Chain A
Amino acid sequence: MTVLELESLSVRFGGHLAVSDASLRVEGGRVTGLIGPNGAGKTTTFNAICGVVPPSSGRVLLDGKDISSAGTHQRARLGIGRTFQRLEVFGSLSVADNIRVGQEIRRSWSRRKAALPQYLDGLGDPSPDVELAAILTRLDLVALADQPVGALPTGQARLVELGRALAARPSVLLLDEPASGLDEQETDAFGDLLLQLASHGLGILLVEHDVPLVMRVCERLSVLDFGQIIAEGTPAEVRANEAVLSAYLGTGPTPAPGAPGAAPVEAQ
């Protein structure tokens, strides 16, 4: 079932077309990947979906309804959640308080609404503390609960952003490079978490440069280059796609078997 759909979305910054005529579907209950080289327009697409930048044309549909004219907070209330590539944690609050703010804001608007999706045991419990504990436990943040988020390493801070977004219980979750800053083991655990969330019905749109993770969790992939969707399909299909290879590597040889399509990581 399609939860989120982009219909020929374009975003223009002055003379620069950052996203150009991009169409995309996110299904509930699975992880959809959005990959592409640096500057391809992935983050801009996220911003357009949640109303942080206005699109110059095109529509955003949530559950089939056009939400293009809704403000950011209204879209959040309709069920769009996200994390940020450049961290937007509440740095002066503790880990637990970051997630609490997510819960409390949700409680301030969700009273009247019907049941929200429940993808973790304990999420949706009438007691906020039980809910908080469930999120902290699942994200393995219990030991850090009272730490100020500002002092955490990036990887952990990204998990806090995820927990905060989950506390608002969205029906579709946009994750912008959530695994950068996690080590290999943590990335594996993180992949399991994404699959678990999806298996309970959450639709996830994942932007990630960690190719093995993307290959493992995504059922479908869209590839963005210079603002355009140049390929779409299962990971295997995308991996074999000529256009994708040349987008990533210039016109080039077949990628090394371990890291097909890996985006260039710029060291400086």
Chain B
Amino acid sequence: MRTFLTATIGGLSTAAIYAITASGLVVTYTTSGVFNFAHGAFSMMAAFMYWQVHVAWGVPTLPAIVLVVFVVAPLFGALIERVIMRGIEGTSEVVKIVVTVSLFVALLGLANVIWPPTQSYTVLPFFNNAALSIFGVKVGWARLIALAVALAVAGGLRFVFTSTRLGIAMRAVVDDRSLLQLNGGRPGRTSMLSWAIGAGLAAIAGVLLAGEQTLSATTLSLLVINAYAVAVVGRLRSLPGVFVGSVILGLLVAYGQQYVSSEAAIGPVSLSGAVTAIPAVMLFVVMVLQPQDRLEARGATRVPTAARMPSMKLALWGGLAFVLVTAALGNLIAGPDLFKVAGGYLFALVMLSLVPLTGYAGQISLAQMTFTGIGAVAMAAWGASGSPLAVVASVLLCAVVGAVVALPALRLSGIYLALATAAFGLFCSAMVFNQQDVMPGLSRQVPRLALGPFKISSDYQQLVLLAVTFALVGIGLVALRRSAWGRRLAAMKDSPVACATLGLNLTATKVAVFALSAAIAGLAGSLAGRTFISDEFGLPASLPVTMLAVVGGIGSVAGAFMGGIFLGAFPIASTVFAANAIGVFRFVSLPVTDLVAFAPGATGVSLGREPDGAAPQMAAGFRAVGESVPSLVVSFAGFAALWLLARLDVVGGWAFVAAVLVFVLAVVPLLPLLFNPEDMGRKLATGIFVGLCTVVTVFIPWDTAIASNGMRALVIVLWAVLVVRTAIGVHGAVPDVVPRGPRTSPDMVGIDTPLTRADAVDAGRVLGIDEDELDLVTGRSQ
């Protein structure tokens, strides 16, 4: 009985913390329309900040709390809204999700930079953990404070939303921003305020949590993911729902901790992670219980250009060229580096799985590495001899699991799929990938493929296999996009409601595309041919995959490859830099390793400024290459020449790699422009510039100038990017970036552009008002 009471009281105080964070989440979501995946990271930052102010700088408890919760956090929230979130208003749900996911990744990286995990951070609980005795149960003051704060937050929010002008405006803004604007409200300001409040609430939770454990950035950020499960109870919008959900989850977790021992097992299945998995399970149960979402007919956003599709011919030639280039390049890379490059290719293949799902159908998944993990483990279990049949079976398994996971979420709106997949990733980490039978010692080797007598036996062959797979799947996806089904997916992305009124079963279509996506991710796992550790399948590993796939330019096969190589390059760089902390590259005392931790997230956050991703700019150039015969000829001739120089040992391996990168990234996309006869002077300048850059690249003594491989790789990539940027600068921007149209106000139905005087005169004619009277009328109505 006493243990039960202790657990109950503990559960309620945990519930209090969930309630506080989740209400912050709900406030920002309802007001700004952006579901903040980085909310947990906000709490984490606040906890560390509190440590910094209180422990490191010795500021007393109360002023420290006031500073963190009421000053720093709200300012930070407002800043985030102003700088990042306002830019993504009116973009697709996918972009919104990816931007906050990127923020999550970036903040996590930033925290690891400012507070390196090599050190230990502890904060004493409030009142030195003094306790009070209630019904004979000792209860820490910290817990009582949490409860009291939660009640105060509940009361405070209720007051703000029902009784203040501002609160009512905050509720109105989500219903229709433009409508509020027309009525004289200021959506920007309310939205900013909601981010400030949300960040403040996150900070309260962070400070309350700080006393409970040694601070760990990852654990803290993910712990607050529990708040997502709670928010779903109130359909992400209701504060009372949040409080009910918090109590349920808090108690479940507390009883779980009390009564399920970490050695418990059902048959061979260990329950050591069961308590961690409770929020994920709850999220699913709540989703299943919810009624199907309504469709909305609010007008589809119209973009003035058609989505471009590569032609089948381009896809086939591109695939072939990709395999050949990989084979040639792989030939020149030494043993251990091959393995790392293969890592990048594997990521690229996983990102390819997001092309149909996110690029074509506009849905999102945050758990692609989990599916990769399922594919990998299934292959290890069924295909010890590397049998292709086992690959097929693993892929099918992933498709089925994917369909089952997606079904409850797909009945609801897009944000739920993101939540459900995140929960699925956490669930698998807690209950699947930590099982002895699944990943003995938390690692598992995936056997390499054997096709009849031919067995993949070297890293080089493995790399080529991945390249071939990538090319085939990529060609398949292009074919899919060009088929009737692909057209249907694009249509569904543009307007789900229109598709439904034509007779399309939206749920079935989305489940099918999700299953396809899971299958491709699983294929990557089953063909990986290497050893995985269980952390590689966790949520923190999946988030950057989704993020960089979108940043690379979702919807295009090339974008997936760019994203994959980008992601693959980071581990290379960071291991090398960690090994030799090179002083030269310290920048404001920030080691390059730290930049590497921080950079992926930062790139994702910038997506708000260019929601189409990085690839479109270059893709526009590459696409034109396929249509211009001289460009094609020069491309292949250039590549062949470089390869020949390398083979003849005129240039070293690294100079070759660098030259190829610069050539492919900077020269090739500019070729069609260069062969275009207009504006000769400028073109000549650009041509000479990129030509010179390539030559310079070949003659930089890469092998001797830089000591380590990873460093070289990174510097080369940076160099290539620099050349591209500068070349575009020399030439002037490549046009073709799709402008975002403003959302039409409901009052301007049927008129997509701002009203002009001519429109008013027309309208006046219908009303029987002539032009002179019009000024009188409009004057009166304002």
Q: Which residues of A contact B (CB under 8 A)?
A: 43, 47, 50, 52-54, 71-73, 76-77, 80-82, 84-94, 97-98, 100-102, 104-106, 108-110, 148-151, 154, 157, 161, 164-165, 167-168, 177, 180-181, 256, 259, 262, 264-268
Contacts and interface: CB of A to CB of B under 8 A. Distances in A.
Contacts of B781: 268
Interface in B432-487: 484, 487
Interface string B54-78: 0000000000000000000000000
Interface in B216-239: none
A154 B304 CA distance: 12
A101 B500 CA distance: 12
Interface string B734-772: 000000000010110111100100011001101110000
A267 B765 CA distance: 11
A148 B501 CA distance: 21
A91 B300 contact: yes
B503 A73 contact: yes
Interface stretch (B186-194, B332-340, B491-499, B687-695): B491-499
A173 to B, nearest CB: 11
B495 to A, nearest CB: 4
A89 B501 contact: no
3 interchain residue pairs of minimum CB distance: A86-B299, A148-B306, A76-B503
13 contacts: A77-B503, A87-B299, A87-B302, A89-B495, A91-B300, A91-B301, A91-B494, A101-B499, A101-B502, A108-B503, A150-B302, A161-B498, A177-B750
Given A43-B297, A180-B750, 19 more contacts: A73-B501, A76-B500, A76-B501, A76-B503, A81-B501, A84-B299, A84-B497, A88-B300, A88-B497, A89-B494, A90-B494, A93-B490, A108-B503, A108-B504, A154-B751, A157-B302, A164-B502, A165-B501, A268-B781
A105 B504 contact: yes
Q: Which of A90, A98, A264 has the most CB of B within 10 A?
A: A90
B488 interface: yes
Interface of B: 292, 294-307, 484, 487-488, 490-491, 493-495, 497-506, 744, 746-747, 749-752, 755, 759-760, 763-764, 766-768, 778, 781-782
Q: Which of B302, B484, B493, B760 has the most CB of A within 10 A?
A: B302
B360 to A, nearest CB: 11
A38 to B, nearest CB: 9
B755 A267 contact: yes
B757 to A, nearest CB: 10
Given A73-B504, A105-B502, A151-B304, A86 B298 contact: yes
B305 A73 contact: no
Contacts of A47: 297
Contacts of A168: 502-503
Contacts of B494: 89-93
A150 B303 contact: yes
A164 B767 contact: no
A150 B304 CA distance: 5
Given A88-B297, A267-B755, A181 B750 contact: yes
B747 A52 contact: no
B749 A85 contact: yes
Given A86-B744, A93-B494, A267 B295 contact: no
Contacts of A98: 491
Contacts of A92: 303, 306-307, 490, 493-494
Contact of A151 (B295, B305, B747, B764): B305
A40 B475 CA distance: 51
B498 A164 contact: yes
Contacts of B495: 88-90
A168 B100 CA distance: 39
A167 B306 CA distance: 21
Given A100-B487, A150-B305, A88 B750 contact: no
